[in-house]
Structure 1
């Protein structure tokens, strides 16, 4: 499923391509690219749930999370997101790339991936997808892109 999300992100969401593609056209293209039906539907459902997070009354914690609070992970979340991933999310929040609401969205979508444990690199892409989906997060998205794509050993002046 994650491969499909990456394919969609690179070919539709992140590019200047037409974002609004009919689902059956998109499904056909994904089949032609070699993805199977069940994984395609899981990925499309994942994206739909991401869009619903912004407007969901079922998850009121998204919009009522106190700033400066310490996030305690559930046992299940800790199994999926190791301490490196948790530390990375804390780092992103401390430097202002994500806030408590976008952090919760990232955790929700990362845990929803069909992987036993989320690798840090995969988590970074989830953060990008979440930031891109939230209106008004363009600056945060650009900062996250810089963190991912810039030289890992910058020259200090």
Structure 2
């Protein structure tokens, strides 16, 4: 599913540029993605669109001084590394609390534990769904392997 999401991100820079689900299914199938991968990705993208429109995470506890307490089920699905990454992005000021909640919502919607690479794709797709271009820090963290980073 994550390969499909990356393909969608790379080929449709904005959600409104994305074709309708039926046409997108045909395009993805023609590129060589498996039917079940395509369906999982489309269901996940529909949930992302719905969550973004409904403002998931914009309620109480999302102010600048708020502290996020993770539920045991969220901790199990996200893992320490992913939670640490979310905290890093939030403390760096590039992932506001409402976006953090959207990332957590979409990550836990997978329904199984995810690794850091999968979480990075989810973060990227959340920015994409909101029509926002991630800043250089986010892009560096999402795409450059730690061993390939240049130290200034």
- TM norm. shorter chain > 0.5: yes
Secondary structure in structure 1 of the residue aligned to 2:32:
coil
Pairs within 5 Å for 1:14-93:
19-56=17-54, 59=56, 61-64=57-60, 65-93=62-90
Aligned with 1:127 (options 123, 127, 130): 123
Secondary structure in structure 2 of the residue aligned to 1:54:
helix
Match of 1:104?
101
State the shift of 1:52 in Å: 1.8
- The alignment's C-alpha RMSD in Å is 2.4
**Which residues of structure 2 form unaligned runs of 5+?**
none
Secondary structure in structure 2 of the residue aligned to 1:81:
helix
Q: TM-score, normalised by structure 1?
A: 0.80
Q: Deviations over 1:30-50 (max 9, x none)?
A: 222333333322211211221
Query: Structure with the greater relative contact order (CA < 8 A, sep ≥ 6): 1 or 2?
Result: 2
Q: How many corresponding residue pairs?
A: 148
For the 8 Å contact 2:18–2:24, the answer to whether it is kept is no
* Distance change >3 Å, CA 81–CA 132, structure 1 → 2: same
